[in-house]
Amino acid sequence: MAPMQFSLGDIVRMKKQHPCGNFEWEILRVGMDFRIRCTKCGRMVMIPRTRFEKSVKAVVKPAGENE
């Protein structure tokens, strides 16, 4: 199974809610580990790729899309 494709700046919706009440995160680093930032409170977290891919529900807004 090929790994999912994610880009820097993508906004993703996670399956579980962050304690601040938000589901959406921005991808800041891609590799074996992902650094993501909560779009509501700004909290940054690093998680392994396998755990990240299991937790992502959908890509809400791909990188480079006009705001």
pLDDT digits (tens, 9 = 90+) for 39-61: 999 999 999 999 999 999 999 98
Average pLDDT on 5-16 reads 93
Strand order in the sheet with 11-14: 44-48, 33-38, 24-29, 11-14, 56-61
pTM: 0.85
Phi-psi region of 65 (alpha: psi -120 to 50; beta: other; left: phi over 0): beta
Distances (CA, A) of 23 to 2, 15, 18, 41, 64: 25, 7, 6, 11, 20
